[in-house]
Amino acid sequence: MRISIACLVATATCSFACSKDGPPTQHGASVVVDGSGAPDDEANAPDQKPAFPEQTRAKAPAQTSKVKVETITSELEKPWAVEALKDGRFVVTEKEGRLRVVTADGRVLPPIAGIPKVDAAGQGGLLDVAINESDNTLTLCITYSEPRDDGQNATAAACGTATGSENLTLSDLKPLFQQEPAWESDKHFGSRFLFASNDMVWITTGERSNPDSRQLSQDKSAALGKVIRLKRDGSVPSDNPFVAEGGVAAQVWSFGHRNLQSAALDSEGRLWTVEHGAQGGDELNRPEAGKNYGWPVITYGEDYSGSPSGTGITEKEGMEQPLYYWDPVIAPSGMVIYSGDLFSEWRGDVLIGGLVSKGLVRLTLDGDRVTSEERIKLNARVRDVVQGPDGAIYVVTDEDEGKLLKLTPAK
């Protein structure tokens, strides 16, 4: 077996041969990886200019990180999301429609019963999972691509109560959100779900990718390419920006998004998102009530064909600029804003999983401005990232033999 570079910096606990193409595969095995600045690859749209300094290609941090990467399990099948429970267990979604518990010692338990049917073609399937542990009750919510009539589908969310000290039993699972309109597409479901304060939840959606459907990102009466804000019972908050318009528009917080697959709350409870661009144009935003984030009218990067996206413009009055963008893309997945003590130097930093960049992207902030970007290479498609109650970072990798990895500071 050929040995990867990661093995050359393996810790004393790494008593195995590392995989050439990814992180360690054996339970408990670990390697140490070094952070680095973002690569200086040529942009897909090199003639486009940022709207303000450090809107893209921020410098590397003054001191890069050294991170220990430990495998908890490598027995997951195409995991999409992970949540960490207070007792050390994990809840993981697998794209084909399975919801599983992984124990603290790495055992993958049988699938939890009661999950609705999903349309797992293309980018669809069982997608996000979110957990709220309060008042001795574990509320569990999932998002998924819901099959509809005539071959169509749409993003949906459902919530229930979970119980059990080993595996979980899910009960009273009820729909909370069903995206309208449905579409015949296997792409761009968005699908992050966040619990927020004041009995609120956030749900992100994609615009389903097709040339016709992407135009609906600009239509507030369609729940495509939107940030959705609801109460935990699925009703509409009275202070949503378009509540007076009724219908779908009443659910909308912000619009003009492409495919929102990263979402996190900061220490002030504010929502941050990262959405997929095409070839270039992944963007970090802090969506504000009623604002238009431009897709598909303005964007950085270009279409997959190599032609300009739309008319090729990156700015327009009445449309928001991203706080930061990537060209080439990182292909964002899960996201967390770090608040723990274990990585003390990361507190307040944005950590984003990368599918194309195959690792974690770490952004430091000064207010709402990005001041540095670091890449923690894991050599695997990172599908989700979460902070555990112990302050460690946990990620799942998007593979047939998917892994759950634990990241801690290297000594």
Q: Which residues of the chain have pLDDT under 50?
A: 1-20
CB-CB neighbours of 88 under 10 Å:
13
The verdict on whether 188 is a catalytic residue reads yes
What are the structural domains of the chain? Answer: 5-409 (2.120.10.30)
Summarised one tens digit per residue, pLDDT across range 195-246 is 999 999 999 999 999 999 999 999 999 999 999 999 999 999 999 999 999 9
CA dist 297 and 312 (Å) reads 8
What strands lie across the sheet with 271-276, from one edge to the other?
Answer: 259-265, 271-276, 282-285, 324-326
The pLDDT value recorded for residue 22 is: 67
| Amino acid 21: pLDDT | 55
Query: CA 327, CA 171: separation in Å to the nearest integer?
Result: 44
pLDDT in tens, 256-265: 999 999 999 9
* pLDDT value of position 224: 98
Query: Which sign, positive or negative, has the C-alpha torsion 51, 55, 57, 61?
Result: positive
DSSP structure string for 355-389 = TTTTEEEEEEEETTEEEEEEEEE-SS-EEEEEE-T
Token pair belonging to 161? 């109560």
Please report the pLDDT score of residue 26 as a whole number. 73
Per-residue pLDDT tens over the stretch 36-69: 999 999 999 999 999 999 999 999 999 999 999 9
**Are the C-beta atoms of residues 77 and 102 closer than 8 Å to each other?**
no
